[in-house]
Amino acid sequence: MPGIDESRSFIPLNIAVLTVSDTRELADDKSGTTLVERIEAAGHKLAARAIVTDDVDKIRAQVKAWIADPGVDVVISTGGTGFTGRDVTPEALEPLFEKRMDGFATLFLMISHAKIGTSAIQTRATAGVAGATYIFCVPGSPGACKDAWDGILVHQLDYRYRPCNFVEIMPRLDEHLRRPKAQGATV
């Protein structure tokens, strides 16, 4: 049965929150605030928070900076995952992924469908790993942020969650970068 294993210690993560919007500012960023409140309530640390416009280069630059920052373990973006012309978050971030997390999109769709029916089809939520940093892209509504956090991330970003979680494999995310060259390799 999945759940919290109280014999394990909680490990707080450093999580950055990115809001992608042409219209939001910190004062009215309800989705970003929803994520920040949940991150902190779970015992994690807010490593950084930013708002950027719906622009591929700006989104990518911010997330690349956080990937390069050893003080950021996880990036959660909110906004820009729909189908309008300005929705470009997946286009900005998926090329950075070393590994895609297709299961996140599927599970998010299942959770959303249970709450909003077929309207859930309008999301392009996505996730992946880049530079040993987890990246999750969720829609820009507070409800979607709650669903992603409460239904998936609160569990997978908790080392105590069993049978498995993302935290326990973090030390091995970059093992391909540490692997010594094979004997006789020329590259």
Domains of the chain with CATH codes: 13-171 (3.40.980.10)
Confidence of residue 1 (pLDDT cuts 50, 70, 90): confident
Tens of pLDDT along 30-73?
999 999 999 999 999 999 999 999 999 999 999 999 999 999 99
CB count within 10 Å of CB 86 equals 14
Question: Once rounded to an integer, what is the mean pLDDT over residues 17-21?
Answer: 97
Is 144's pLDDT higher than 70?
Answer: yes
SS3 145: helix
Question: Once rounded to an integer, what is the mean pLDDT over residues 89-110?
Answer: 97
DSSP string for residues in 39-61: HHHTT-EEEEEEEE-S-HHHHHH
Distance between start and end Cα atoms, the chain: 46
Task: Give the pLDDT confidence score for residue 180 in this predicted structure.
Answer: 54
User: What is the C-alpha to C-alpha distance for residues 92 and 88, in angstroms, rounded to an integer?
Assistant: 6
CA distances (Å), 172 to each of 37, 86, 131, 133, 161, in order? Answer: 29, 36, 11, 11, 18
Q: Give backbone dihedrals phi and psi of 119, rounded to 5 degrees, phi first.
A: -60, -20
